[in-house]
Amino acid sequence: MGDLAKIFKAYDVRGVVPDEFDEQTAEAVGAAFVEVTGAESVVVAHDMRESSVPLAAAFVRGARSRRADVVHAGLGSTDLLYYASGSLGLPGVMFTASHNPARYNGMKMCRSGAVPIGGDSGLTEIRDRAAELVGMTAEPVGSLIEKDLLSGYAHHLRSLVDLSGIRPLKVVVDAGNGMGGHTVPAVFDGLPIELVPLYFELDGEFPNHEANPIEPKNLVDLQRAVVESGADIGLAFDGDADRCWVIDERGESVSPSAITALVAARELAKHPGATIIHNLITSHGVPEIVREHGGVPVRTRVGHSFIKAEMARRDAVFGGEHSAHYYFRDFWFADSGMLAAMHVLAALGEQERALSETVGAYARYHASGEINSAVADQGEALRRVREAFAGRGDFDELDGLTVTGPDWWFNLRASNTEPLLRLNAEAADQTKMSAIKDEVLAIVGKVTE
């Protein structure tokens, strides 16, 4: 149990292969998944990591040993797995460690209709049952069907956002040697897009850079390529291609909050008065713009399971996070970096303005981005920050500590998986934002000394 507790996180499974996560464990999880969910059939996909094929095969053996039939989709992005779960009406499992280094792998699980499985919705029970089954073997009984779902996935996305009538665009895409290299060509096929590919070769060793676009260093190659090629836009996907980061024609990074606001405005034009979900770290410009377009903004804590649950509960049409995760009601409330990218391409290609001008109206404030500090005593650091800002703003503790002043705010929250405090700050001007950010970091820094 100790080993499984280490790799079973709040929302998924993630660990070093084979030290923490091996084929024996994957087989036990496969059997436990079927027992806990009661699934008669399961759909499985995997990313390009070398360990993904044997781990997925082991899971399949475990699932089939419990009489479940398995639809094996093979190589796919995480949002392709969500498409499979939604379109086939089956629970699903994706083998990926997303943006983590090559030595890691993991599993993202969902029920039929891409409903996420997290710690409070079945993942803990799967972990406990798998711990009892590790080392046990049984003959596969259920059937195995291999099914290529890539073309169906691409067709479905193109049915949700019609790009056939946009002006011709030159688009640089950095797949980071991840699954975007597999899905982007299929989705863009036949569209008025001149694709400039960067690192489309599937390689789970990530030889060029980490497949994590939230880190600025991993965007440098894309930014350079956009400027040098005279492209209209750049797109960067993470390892399992469920997140997408946008670069404008000047090579400048576009805030995910601005993308959230842009897509929200587009969805509200189709669904007047609809609800839009945003987490508490997205820019305050997002709820402002949602209200201006007649929508209802709803603020949630950070984390895809919270956002997906709130979206389903409120029948929200769209949701966005600061981490470049974007969720869509017409995609089973699941997240899809590709679908978000298509909305941006549509907004850009339906008129003649450059991307920087197109998104400019949606970027109203100055933000720090997420800053991580290694802090052993997180509680003490938060206490000191509360004390320092007492009487200077409104406090709320929906997720960590959020302090809101007249023209600024910041959120300081503990990581779910590491001894880190994560700071996000925003203000009406750069000087005020920097001052607030530096003050909080100075307080946190004293606890680490």
How many Cα atoms are found within 13 Å in the side-chain-facing hemisphere of 235? 29
How far is residue 249's CA from residue 251's CA, in Å, rounded to a whole number?
A: 5
Categorise residue 303: left if φ over 0, alpha if ψ from -120 to 50, beta otherwise: left
Q: Kindly list the catalytic residues.
A: 98
Tokens of 319: 């949701």
Cβ neighbour number for residue 140 with a 10 Å cutoff: 16
CB 151 within 8 A of CB 210: no
82/416 Cα distance (integer angstroms): 24
> Which tokens hold the place of 100?
């983590």
248 three-class SS: coil
CB-based contact 17:127 (threshold 8 Å): no
Give CA–CA dist 334/428, Å, rounded.
Answer: 32
Peptide bond preceding 213 in cis form (omega within 30 of 0): no
